[in-house]
Amino acid sequence: MPPKNKKARQDPSQDTLKHAKQLNGEMLYTYLALCKRELDTSKDAGSGLSNVFWAKIMEEYNAKFNITREPKYFSNVWFYQKAKYNTWTWLLRRTENGFNAETRTFHLPSEEWDALIKINENVNTFRKCGLLHEDLMKSIFANRVATEHV
């Protein structure tokens, strides 16, 4: 059910990948926690979630934040966060010595960053920060991400 507050209604054009990339903070945590909960309760969640689970996530998320997001938005967020986790794990494998386990960030010389970005431009995301909600992301995507060795 859409929120009664017209200001809270979201234009469907805001369900784009660009908007999915901007998700952070409490909204991202809530999204990931809902996905994890549904995956934990699913009998066959090998590759992802069923339409029934997506409907639950969408309903609960929209109600919590008093907004109306369409299924496309949730799909965009899923694939963007999955790609982000995949990039994170790729970077971890490539730069074992440059990772600071205490701060959960990478400390590499500029030349090394530039070289890595030429191979995989998505690593630029982690040049100044770590992976938000790393534990949740791992529990959701670790068994669903192809282990591609580049």
Q: Measured between alpha carbons, how far is residue 37 from residues 24, 52, 139, 142, 150 in Å?
A: 19, 13, 10, 15, 32
Could you tell me which of 60, 57, 88, 62 has the C-alpha nearest to residue 75? Answer: 57
In a domain, 102, yes or no: yes
Question: How far is it, in rounded angstroms, from Cα 109 to Cα 128?
Answer: 12
In a domain, 13, yes or no: no
Bridge partners of residue 99, in order along the sequence: 106
pLDDT at residue 8, rounded to an integer: 47
The total of other beta-carbon atoms located within 10 Å of residue 112's CB is 14
CB of 53 closer than 8 Å to CB of 83: no
Per-residue pLDDT tens over the stretch 36-55: 999 888 766 555 678 888 99
Instruction: Indicate the burial class of 21 (C-beta count within 10 angstroms; 0-12, 13-18, 19 or more).
Output: middle
DSSP-derived 3-state class of residue 49: coil
Residue 56 pLDDT more than 50? yes
pTM recorded for the entire structure: 0.80
In a domain, 54, yes or no: yes
Flag the least confident range among 2-6, 15-19, 23-27. 2-6
CB of 74 closer than 8 Å to CB of 15: no
* Residue 132 C-alpha from the chain's centroid: 8
pLDDT at residue 31, rounded to an integer: 96
In a domain, 59, yes or no: yes
In a domain, 9, yes or no: no
Span 108-120, average pLDDT: 94
In a domain, 94, yes or no: yes
Per-residue pLDDT tens over the stretch 18-34: 667 778 789 999 999 99
For residue 41, give its domain range. Answer: 23-142
Residue 31 tokens read as: 């999204």
Span 105-124, average pLDDT: 93
Residue bearing tokens 């490539």: 94
Average per-residue pLDDT for the chain: 83
How many domains is the chain partitioned into structurally? 1
In a domain, 17, yes or no: no
Bridge partners of residue 100, in order along the sequence: 105
Residue 75 tokens read as: 């799909």
